[in-house]
């Protein structure tokens, strides 16, 4: 049976009463709505439709398909209601009733099922993402690549959180997580060059001092020192991070806009990828 198209009410950037914000799978929801539409179509047929064994079999198959999707969506009360619908639709379970009665019972239970699904979906919230936004949170590769993950293992959590925050437009949170990751990367570079990147108490120095200390160590390297040019490139990329950071210290400023956070994210990725390739 071909059902008419369904309007896409889930435009990106709006809050909807659906499922778990981060784990929601849209395919299961839309598939469940498709099978519910098929069952709704059946409810509008005349009573003799339910007397046909082939039609009954198809209706039961639709119930089973819907049941699978409701299980994926974790809607336990709706799942139980599907069981009642299957019972109502199978005329073998109701031999004493005329097909008209079976049809009416089916329509009644189907209406209850629709209400139950709506009630359960209203208990949770999902944020609908555009394809570009979802690309950050659905990435299967580690943020900034596998070399960064291997080289700076202590940054895995913060880089993953920064990527998720990019999806959900939490721009200031993006930069705060990147700050923690960059402290690890800058520390590794400072250690490699024996450059001072923290004060005597372990606190962060200003960007200007950090970059100057690194530059001074690179300047002292012999001209034929292996990877000397690559270290200079790392310093240059770190300078670009500083420019995107828009503050003199390694502590982020109070708030960041979308444009600023994306600039910090891209600059941090370029620096950490380059440095990981250099240190591994």
pLDDT of 30-87, one tens digit each?
A: 889 999 999 999 999 988 888 888 998 999 999 999 999 999 888 999 999 999 999 8
| Rounded Cα–Cα distance for residues 14 and 233 (Å) | 42
Residue 9: name the closest of 121, 116, 93 by CA.
Answer: 121
Give 25's pLDDT tier (boundaries 50, 70, 90).
Answer: low
Question: Residue 12: pLDDT above 70?
Answer: no
**Cα distances (angstroms) measured from residue 145 to each of 165, 227, 271:** 18, 21, 12
| Rounded Cα–Cα distance for residues 215 and 80 (Å) | 68
pLDDT for 206 equals 86
CATH code: domain 135-279 is 1.20.120
| Rounded Cα–Cα distance for residues 108 and 208 (Å) | 72
Residue 103: name the closest of 34, 52, 36 by CA.
Answer: 52
Question: Residue 1: pLDDT above 80?
Answer: no
> Out of 101-110, 119-128, 195-204, 229-238, which region has the weakest mean confidence (pLDDT)?
119-128
| Rounded Cα–Cα distance for residues 217 and 237 (Å) | 16
pLDDT digits (tens, 9 = 90+) for 100-156: 888 888 899 999 999 999 898 887 666 677 778 877 877 778 999 999 999 999 999
DSSP annotation of 223 reads T
């Amino acid at each position: 049976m071909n059902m008419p198209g369904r309007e896409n009410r889930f435009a990106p950037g709006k809050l909807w009463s659906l499922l778990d914000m981060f784990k929601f799978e849209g395919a299961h929801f839309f598939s469940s709505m498709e099978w519910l539409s098929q069952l709704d179509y059946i409810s509008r047929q005349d009573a003799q439709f339910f007397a046909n064994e082939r039609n009954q079999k198809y209706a039961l198959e639709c119930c089973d398909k819907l049941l699978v999707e409701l299980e994926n969506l974790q809607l336990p009360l709706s799942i139980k209601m599907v069981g009642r619908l299957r019972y109502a639709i199978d005329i073998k379970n109701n031999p004493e009733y005329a097909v008209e009665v079976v049809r009416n019972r089916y329509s009644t239970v189907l209406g209850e099922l629709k209400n139950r699904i709506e009630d359960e979906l209203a208990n949770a919230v999902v944020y609908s993402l555009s394809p570009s936004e979802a690309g950050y949170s659905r990435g299967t590769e580690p943020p900034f690549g596998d070399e960064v993950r291997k080289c700076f293992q202590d940054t895995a959590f913060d880089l993953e959180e920064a990527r998720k925050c990019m999806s959900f437009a939490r721009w200031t949170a993006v930069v705060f997580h990147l700050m923690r990751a960059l402290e690890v990367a800058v520390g590794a570079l400072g250690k490699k060059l024996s450059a001072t990147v923290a004060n005597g108490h372990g606190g962060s120095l200003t960007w200007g001092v950090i970059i100057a200390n690194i530059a001074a160590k690179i300047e002292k390297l012999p001209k034929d020192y292996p990877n000397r040019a690559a270290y200079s490139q790392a310093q240059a990329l770190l300078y670009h991070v500083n420019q995107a950071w828009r503050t003199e210290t390694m502590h982020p400023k109070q708030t960041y806009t979308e444009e600023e956070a994306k600039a910090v994210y891209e600059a941090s990725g370029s620096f950490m990828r380059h440095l990981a390739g250099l240190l591994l």
